[in-house]
Amino acid sequence: MAFVTRQFIRSLSSSAALHAAIKHVTIIGGGLMGAGIAQVAASTGHSVVLVDTSEDILKKSAKGIESSLKRVAKKKFAEKPEDGEAFIQKVLKNISTSTDAASVVQGTDLVVDAIVENLKVKQDLFGALDKAAPEHTIFASNTSSLSIADIASSTARLDRFGGLHFFNPVPMMKLVEVIKAPGTSQQTFDALLEFSKALGKHPVSCKDTPGFIVNRLLVPYMLEAVRLHERGHGSKEDIDVAMKLGAGYPMGPFELLDYVGLDTSKFIIDGWHEKDPDNPLFAPSPLLNKLVAEGKLGKKTGEGFYKHK
């Protein structure tokens, strides 16, 4: 009876904690996405710890955040630069850095990973943090293509695990896909929705399906453009122009592939194809595979479908 009572009290305590607003956020990964999430969270009054494996990476992240904030302040406080400087300092005070994730998560409400798109790496990360984080702490992944349920399977908090997919550049893009996996509790899902709104974002509800909403539509669209070109039914230049002038898209599919990174798009489509090999929308592209094998990954390498200066 005493055991049942203790379990009931723990359940009530966890439930009450989940209803409380998320105030302290730990971001794992100091790259563009992680730094962007940290900036937005700190700008909206959250206490943020940005975690990565080395101090050098974190110094670069901090410098990037400060530069981004200066651009925001210059636009927002054009007539009062002193207010802009005060804004920058206020936000920066909300951000600290660490290389010790296990220590940091002991006092956090939410952990968001923005690390490499590798299932095992994410599972290992959350499996380790699950042992260190308090019972009320919510885990979320910023994955753009992996299954939330698969990532969460390495933890004992399936009910407190969801997805928060931000878009790059995070300070500018308003959308956040909030993903509810089969094990995600309604309380956790609601908390993630409210957190997204607190960041000034527009959340949309997603199921834990390949690519969620945006990438599930976007990646097959880009790959179908490549297949159209492979069949000789249109040049990449004409396809890009057609989609910009005919569909009103700001970028054509080949321009977008170069911007996103050909290796990133290949990684996503290969993962989906492995899970659902009979789906023609997930079929690999020989041309895309060839360019990636040649190291032509898009803007980041100077050449992809197009050459970039």
Q: Where are the alpha helices (DSSP H) in the chain?
A: 2-19, 32-43, 55-76, 81-93, 101-104, 119-132, 148-152, 186-198, 214-230, 236-247, 253-260, 262-275, 286-293
Q: Are 198 and 225 in contact (CB under 8 A)?
A: no
Would you call 279 a catalytic residue per the annotation? Answer: no
Tell me: is residue 120 an annotated ligand-binding position.
no
Beta-sheet pairing, 47-51 with 95-98: parallel
Tell me: is residue 29 an annotated ligand-binding position.
yes
Tell me: is residue 68 an annotated ligand-binding position.
yes
Q: Are 218 and 145 in contact (CB under 8 A)?
A: no
Q: Which of 46, 61, 94, 177 is catalytic?
A: 177
Tell me: is residue 33 an annotated ligand-binding position.
yes
Amino acid at 242: A
d(CA 112, CA 51): 10
Tell me: is residue 246 an annotated ligand-binding position.
no
Tell me: is residue 34 an annotated ligand-binding position.
yes
Would you call 144 a catalytic residue per the annotation? Answer: yes
Kindly tell me the burial class for residue 60, based on how many C-beta atoms sit within 10 Å of its own C-beta (0-12, 13-18, 19 or more): middle
Tell me: is residue 122 an annotated ligand-binding position.
yes
Would you call 229 a catalytic residue per the annotation? Answer: no
Tell me: is residue 117 an annotated ligand-binding position.
yes
3-class DSSP state of 165: strand
Tell me: is residue 150 an annotated ligand-binding position.
no
Q: Which of 144, 145, 185, 265 is catalytic?
A: 144
Bridge partners of 97, per DSSP, are: 50
d(CA 175, CA 168): 10
3-class DSSP state of 303: strand
Tell me: is residue 237 an annotated ligand-binding position.
no
Q: Which of 215, 229, 255, 265 is catalytic?
A: 215
Would you call 165 a catalytic residue per the annotation? Answer: yes
Q: Which of 46, 136, 165, 229 is catalytic?
A: 165
Q: Which residues are annotated as a binding site?
A: 29-34, 52, 68, 75, 117, 122, 144, 168, 300
Catalytic positions are 144, 165, 177, 215
| Known binding positions for CoA | 68, 75, 144
The annotated binding site for NAD(+) is made up of 29-34, 52, 117, 122, 144, 168, 300
